[in-house]
Amino acid sequence: MTRIYTLVNQKGGVGKTTTAINLSSYLGKAGQRVLLIDLDSQANATSCLGIDHATVSAGTYEILIGQIPAAEAVLHNTSLQLSIIPSSSALAGAQIELVEVAGRETLLRDAIKNLKGRYDYILIDCPPSLGLLTINGLTAASHGVIIPIQCEYLALEGLTQLMRTLRRTRVALNPGLTVRGLLLTMFDRRTNLSRDVVKEVQKHFPENVFQSIIPRNIRLAEAPSHGLPISAYAPNSPGAFAYQALATELMRGDNIGQSGIVADNKE
């Protein structure tokens, strides 16, 4: 079975792309066949894996407009044990170009149908917005969404809006859409604020917060500039151990059939 998870949060700077990259890496190191799809025109996931997005001629934009099959856009990194469909700045125009296209909300889901069975996990990294590209990511998320939440004061701001978007997507486009889990990121154990945010999120979503918490860690911030996930850049750092634990937790939950909350049950 191919499990498809979309990483989403309309708030930027919460560790969404960092999570997409490093979770993919540790799933790959655990022997899973992993495909990461960069659905953000900023192409940060692409760049963070050492790919110059300016040179990308076959990526998410091309598969969304139907120019090439999704399989032809896949790049495989043997040393990192994962594959990626890269992004480029061309994707920035997709929301305008596709606005009149029939079935525009399901273009990604339709494009990657033939990839199912080739991978154990497909992770989709969405842009920090709730536009057409993110809707495509939500529609393609057959096994749910992972929501990174920064351990800061405004962490819960916007979460209600996101839950409403998930609910509407579930009703109109993806009846099986669930929240696989909320992931607390940039945790600083030295501050009361971080601890308070953890308690607040766990209070509101007691069954669906990942036990693994990602710490604020300088190595995690440095790794993208080297074009490497934390597993290759600093495997003995606290950030590396946290993402390895997250991958293990996700796989363990998947093996026992953990399903997540239904998107319209929480706001």
Cα-based distances in Å from 96 to 7, 34, 86, 137, 231:
23, 30, 20, 17, 37
Residues whose CB is less than 8 angstroms from the CB of residue 62 and which lie 6 or more positions away in sequence, other chains included: 68, 73, 90
- Kindly list the structural domains of the chain, giving each domain's residue range(s) and its CATH number in brackets, ordered by start: 3-262 (3.40.50.300)
Given a cut of 80, whether residue 262 has pLDDT beyond it is no
Mean pLDDT is lowest, of 43-47, 98-102, 178-182, for: 98-102
What does the alpha-carbon distance between residue 243 and residue 165 come to, in Å, rounded to a whole number?
27
Percent residues over pLDDT 70 in the chain: 96
| pLDDT tens-digit readout, 184-226 | 999 998 888 899 989 988 888 888 999 999 999 999 999 999 9
Question: Could you tell me the pTM of the whole model?
Answer: 0.93
Q: What is the pLDDT of residue 264?
A: 46
Residues counted in the chain: 267
pLDDT band at 121 (very low <50, low <70, confident <90, very high): very high
Which of the given ranges, 7-16, 33-42, 182-191, has the highest pLDDT on average? 33-42
Cross-strand partners of 82: 77
